[in-house]
A and B are shown apart, each in its own frame.
Chain A
Amino acid sequence: MTYNAYITKEQITGSSEGPLAGKTVAVKDNISTDGVQTTCGSAMLEGYIPPYDATVVERLKAAGATIPGKTNMDEFGMGTTTETSAFGAVENPAAEGHVPGGSSGGSAAVVAAGDADLALGTDTGGSIRCPAAFCGVVGIKPTYGLVSRYGLIAYANSLEQIGPIAPTVEAAAELLEVIAGPDERDATTQDATVHGTEYDFAAAADGDIEGFDIGVPIELVEGADDGVAEQFWAAIDELETMGASYHEVELPSVEHAVQAYYVIAMGEASSNLARFDGVGYGQSGGYEGNWNDTFARSREAGFGEEVKRRILLGTYALSAGYQDKYYRKAQDARAWVKRDFDEALAEADVLASPTMPVSPFERGESLDDPLKMYLADANTTPVNLANLPAISVPAGETDDGLPVGIQFVGPAFGEETIIRAGSALA
């Protein structure tokens, strides 16, 4: 069975030695690979060959990894189902007839199907954790600034991070060790040792959660479907038998997280995607006329509908007269979410919730209803707004046999803590 998980299958061989020698690591197609087509799942970039490697790709190669190809994704990362790719939708290997989640759906699918040992995804509002949850694998969204974004083709810079997808927490942690660390070519990266961590992520996957205090944000459980909530509480029970305890916490701000996330992400997207005009790279279409007309026609032909929707809504939210109403309020909401999480994490080691409030959609189910798709990001987007690390770990299946994921959120640069919590389950 093929899941349409790769856009380009072209092997990139790394160094012969290193912690990832003998391992295959598939790479999401919005991460630049020197000499190998990188499309972002968009017709606009079909045929685009980056002249350099992203920092994470350099680090994979130096660590001995073999990259088997570039994985399919929602166009420019804009989607929760991996159905908006110009190269066709991806199917979920763990739940046939259903979507793999998105936007890193191809990366989660190749790991779930065993076609690659590991994969890199990117997470702007849940794009690693959602497909990890839907495909029954592990995904980590690192603290903002832990991993270099140099060579990542930007969608919403202030929110996104590159992170690992793997069959186990320990394997995800090993891959995170390879890609993490400051980079002079991304000024938003930080040295995590300043924040009290030594990048010993794999060693933290010891499953020892004796005495762990888990905060459960009640808003993020109440919004979940019954079948998902049931599996979530079963996982919490299991953690309790291992010596952890839990208490409920309230995060009133999260009610506004999806609104704030979409206003900010769309605003940043409208600016970032202005570069695709068919002159420096990408598809030009070769239209006649003055440049504004030509650009507008190239962009009409090169972008899919979800991308156009987000560029237009972002342009609207940033336009004269609406900036205070939407963009500034979204920034206030972002600060509020961050404060809520910081306060809750002062009283808990980690916060736990279902990764996704729903189980995987049937294919095609959400395509005609963008708002329905956006609302599925309720539990993942707050973490990006707060710049925090989070891991999604498998937590059983619904009665219909659909995978469920549990998410642990930790303090900034608290990767070791969320890895420890997750490793108790997978």
Chain B
Amino acid sequence: MNDSVVDPKDVEHVAELARVDLSAAERERFTGQFEEILSYFEALDEVPELETDPELTNVLRADEVRESLDQEEALANAPDSEDGYFKGPPVS
């Protein structure tokens, strides 16, 4: 046995971290599927560590005021807004 055995509580926990509610049927299905998929990912253990030199370069630009969406455009797709602000659910 390896240590990746998944139980429904693990699925519930990650779902909570990811802010996604699941139906009981989904939780059940995901438990079996995650077990299978994560065991497949286990083979990554065999991958050697490599000295890598990432090809990254900084891309900079002057910090200047430029044209952007106006407030009305930015709010146009919001399900709810008030006085020019996004309106979300209560924070507690």
CA distance A49 to B88 in the complex (A): 20
Apart from the given pairs A296-B21, A309-B30, A336-B48, 20 other A-B contacts in the complex at a CB distance below 8 Å:
A255-B43, A256-B44, A256-B46, A259-B43, A262-B41, A270-B18, A279-B78, A279-B87, A291-B89, A296-B20, A299-B20, A308-B26, A312-B20, A313-B37, A315-B17, A319-B14, A319-B17, A335-B52, A339-B50, A374-B37
Task: Assess the A256–B47 pair: CB atoms within 8 A.
Answer: yes
B82 surroundings in chain A (CB, below 8 A): none
Nearest first, the 8 A-B pairs at minimum CB distance are A281-B77, A300-B21, A284-B79, A187-B59, A329-B44, A294-B89, A335-B52, A315-B18
Task: Assess the A326–B33 pair: CB atoms within 8 A.
Answer: no
Interface flag for A278 (CB, 8 Å): yes
Q: Shortest CB–CB separation between residue A377 and chain B, in angstroms?
A: 13
CA distance A187 to B61 in the complex (A): 10
Range of interface residues on B (Cβ < 8 Å): 35 or more
Task: Assess the B79–A309 pair: CB atoms within 8 A.
Answer: no
State which of B33, B52, B78 has its C-beta within 8 Å of the C-beta of A281.
B78
B69 surroundings in chain A (CB, below 8 A): 51-52
For the residues of A in contact with B, the DSSP-based class is helix
CB contact under 8 A between A316 and B34, given known A262-B41, A291-B90? yes
Interface flag for A48 (CB, 8 Å): yes
CA distance A259 to B22 in the complex (A): 25
Residues of A280-323 whose CB lies within 8 A of B = 280-284, 286-287, 289-292, 294-297, 299-300, 303, 305, 308-309, 311-313, 315-317, 319
Interface flag for B49 (CB, 8 Å): yes
CB contact under 8 A between A329 and B19, given known A51-B76, A370-B33, A370-B37? no
Residues of B42-92 whose CB lies within 8 A of A = 43-50, 52, 59, 61, 69, 73-74, 76-80, 86-92
State which of A263, A284, A292 has its C-beta within 8 Å of the C-beta of B41.
A263
Interface flag for A176 (CB, 8 Å): no
Interface flag for A260 (CB, 8 Å): yes
B36 surroundings in chain A (CB, below 8 A): 371
A330 surroundings in chain B (CB, below 8 A): 44
Q: Shortest CB–CB separation between residue A417 and chain B, in angstroms?
A: 20
CA distance A289 to B92 in the complex (A): 9
Q: Shortest CB–CB separation between residue A316 and chain B, in angstroms?
A: 5
State which of B14, B45, B88, B90 has its C-beta within 8 Å of the C-beta of A279.
B88
Task: Assess the A291–B77 pair: CB atoms within 8 A.
Answer: no
State which of B16, B26, B77 has its C-beta within 8 Å of the C-beta of A48.
B77
CA distance A246 to B60 in the complex (A): 44
Q: How many residues of A contact B (CB 8 A)?
A: 58
State which of B10, B19, B26, B37 has its C-beta within 8 Å of the C-beta of A299.
B19
CA distance A319 to B73 in the complex (A): 36
Q: Shortest CB–CB separation between residue A149 and chain B, in angstroms?
A: 14
Q: Shortest CB–CB separation between residue B72 and chain A, in angstroms?
A: 9
CB contact under 8 A between A336 and B47, given known A51-B69, A312-B20, A316-B14? yes
A370 surroundings in chain B (CB, below 8 A): 33, 37
CA distance A303 to B30 in the complex (A): 15
Residues of A54-90 whose CB lies within 8 A of B = none
Interface flag for A332 (CB, 8 Å): yes
Task: Assess the A312–B14 pair: CB atoms within 8 A.
Answer: yes
Closest to A273 in B: B18
CA distance A333 to B46 in the complex (A): 9
